[in-house]
Amino acid sequence: MNTFVSPKAVSPTSLHQKLRDPSLFKEQACVGGRWVDADNGETIPVYDPATGSQIGTVPSTGAPEAIRAIEIANSAYRAWANQSALTRAQIMEKWFDLVIENSDDLATIITVEQGKPIGESRTEISYGAGFIKWFSEEARRTYGQVIPANETDRRILAVKQPVGVSAAITPWNFPVAMIARKCAPAIAAGCPVIVKPSEFTPFSAMALALLAQRAGLPDGILSVLTGPPEGIGSVLTGHPTVRKLSFTGSTRVGKILMRQCSETVKRVSFELGGNAPFLILDDADIDLAVSGVIASKFRNAGQTCVCANRILVQDGIYDRFADKLAQAVSEMKVGNGLEPGVAIGPLINLPAVEKVNRHIENALGEGAKALLGGVSSGTGQFCGPTILTGATASMLVAREETFGPVAPLFRFKEIDDAIDFANDTPFGLAAYAFSESMHRALYVGERLEFGMIGINSGSVSSEVAPFGGMKESGIGREGAGHGIDEYLELKTMHIGGMNRPV
Ligand code: SIN
């Protein structure tokens, strides 16, 4: 039985009182280096999902501020692109240092506006800071090529140059890490970037931008626009000066943004929805598989695009695995993420809770059994973790991304059938396979149609590795060396007349 900690156990002090450096709590947008209110004077409220209380407000900016941010970015572009890579790297290293120095405050901001447990917020800060550090290093390695030409009097150079003014639309589930994953490669490559963070989690974005400013990032290289998505989004996708859009969010919204970007043929990189299968073979190490499922499924209360959505367990191990998982998950404390020991925080909003309940009700109605948890009621935005046995392919939990702490266990006999079921989805972001036989694990891994495969690991997230999906889960890769290429154009220069006497 899970323990629920009453949200009222945490004192309702305001966010800035909880911070060592209260100036990190900014209630203004950052347009071209200036902290501003909305032109129309309007604001939107931001709420703590654990308590429902208002944390503060942010300017309801829209098209006019977006256009201004783009124009300022464009005027700052050449000077930034023409800086040496070393100078860009040094400013980014300073930014990284400031993020690490302020990690307690940044983690508090994340937990208060997003809800995840404070320990997970700290992990997110080091994950996000990792992108800043990594891309500060990659800034200096955007090597081109000298290509042997067919003609002896010709030289061919292929050089990498920044794509230009870029935009990033980022989600609420990792309010620091997703901004860092997009902005750090853009800035390292020499591109100014305009960020539209989720309206649920703007304060993390502001704090990150403020630290970039303190690190010496020139005005116009990083702007943050707050407010409802539509007005800002249509300028970012439609304006001809913006040459690249990076988006993390749903496949539905990704398709709309892609259509809008097509008018000006922008470069896009999208990380969209998932429906991750998690295969546990008969010969898996059960304890390792249990901790893998917990890491993947219950991180951020199941609100990640890469989290296990369908847990496929082979017949011979199914019952033992289910019991061990239920035992481990029953010890997870649910409550306000600021409380010590809490492992599962609130969901982001009530529609998210309703979706989780709808999935559980549908599964129970179609014959699944709740080994732990069940439909939540009267718990506000908190959902206790649920484990369902007897899940089948026709249930909503098999077809849609639940985005909550529900672990449906599907039983399979033959590995090839499990692979077919795993691939039977339009999504292809992450998948997982657990087996003590490397041969069997690789057999499965090679056949899964997903961009990232965790083998005997419930985690696929790291700044050093390519991150991204196949099929309707996205386009492009973030992180690793590939992440900076998304912000670089390849330009070929053909140089003739090289055989003339000097
Ligand atoms: C996501 O859920 O969109 C990102 C998860 C991660 O980077 O690990």
What are the DSSP calls for 5-67, one per residue? PPGGGS----GGGG-SSGGG---SEEETTEEE--TT--EEEEE-TTT--EEEEEE---HHHHH
Summarised one tens digit per residue, pLDDT across range 58-114 is 999 999 999 999 999 999 999 999 999 999 999 999 999 999 999 999 999 999 999
The binding-site residues of ligand 1, defined as CB within 6 angstroms of any ligand atom, are: 173-174, 248, 271, 304-306, 461
**How far away, in angstroms, is 458 Cα from ligand 1 center?**
13
How are beta strands 470-471 and 427-428 bridged, if at all? antiparallel
The catalytic position among 271, 339, 401, 463 is 271
375 contacts 250 by C-beta, under 8 angstroms = no
461, 462, 463: residue to mutate for ligand 1 pocket, most atoms within 8 A of CB: 461
Pocket test for ligand 1, best of 467, 477, 478 (most atoms within 8 A of CB): 467
pLDDT (tens place) for every residue of the chain, 502 residues total: 677 665 554 455 689 899 999 999 999 999 999 999 999 999 999 999 999 999 999 999 999 999 999 999 999 999 999 999 999 999 999 999 999 999 999 999 999 999 999 999 999 999 999 999 999 999 999 999 999 999 999 999 999 999 999 999 999 999 999 999 999 999 999 999 999 999 999 999 999 999 999 999 999 999 999 999 999 999 999 999 999 999 999 999 999 999 999 999 999 999 999 999 999 999 999 999 999 999 999 999 999 999 999 999 999 999 999 999 999 999 999 999 999 999 999 999 999 999 999 999 999 999 999 999 999 998 999 999 999 999 999 999 999 999 999 999 999 999 999 999 999 999 999 999 999 999 999 999 999 999 999 999 999 999 999 999 999 999 999 999 999 999 999 999 999 999 999 9
The dihedral through the CA atoms of 441, 315, 358, 299 has a sign that is negative
Give 174's DSSP letter: S
Q: Tell me, in angstroms, the distance from the centre of ligand 1 to residue 156's CA.
A: 40
Predicted pLDDT at 62 = 97
Please write the tens of the pLDDT for every residue from 414-434. Answer: 999 999 999 999 999 999 999
Atom of ligand 1 nearest to the CA of 181: 7
Q: What is the pLDDT of residue 9?
A: 47
Among 108, 113, 105, CA closest to 44: 113
How far apart are alpha carbons 27 and 137 in whole angstroms? 32
Q: How far apart are CA 290 and CA 332, in angstroms?
A: 13
Residue listed under structure tokens 């809490």: 342
Q: From CA 117, how far away is CA 338, in angstroms rounded? A: 6
Q: Which two tokens stand for residue 328?
A: 């481990």
* One-letter amino acid for residue 340 of the chain: P
Residue 2 has what pLDDT? 72
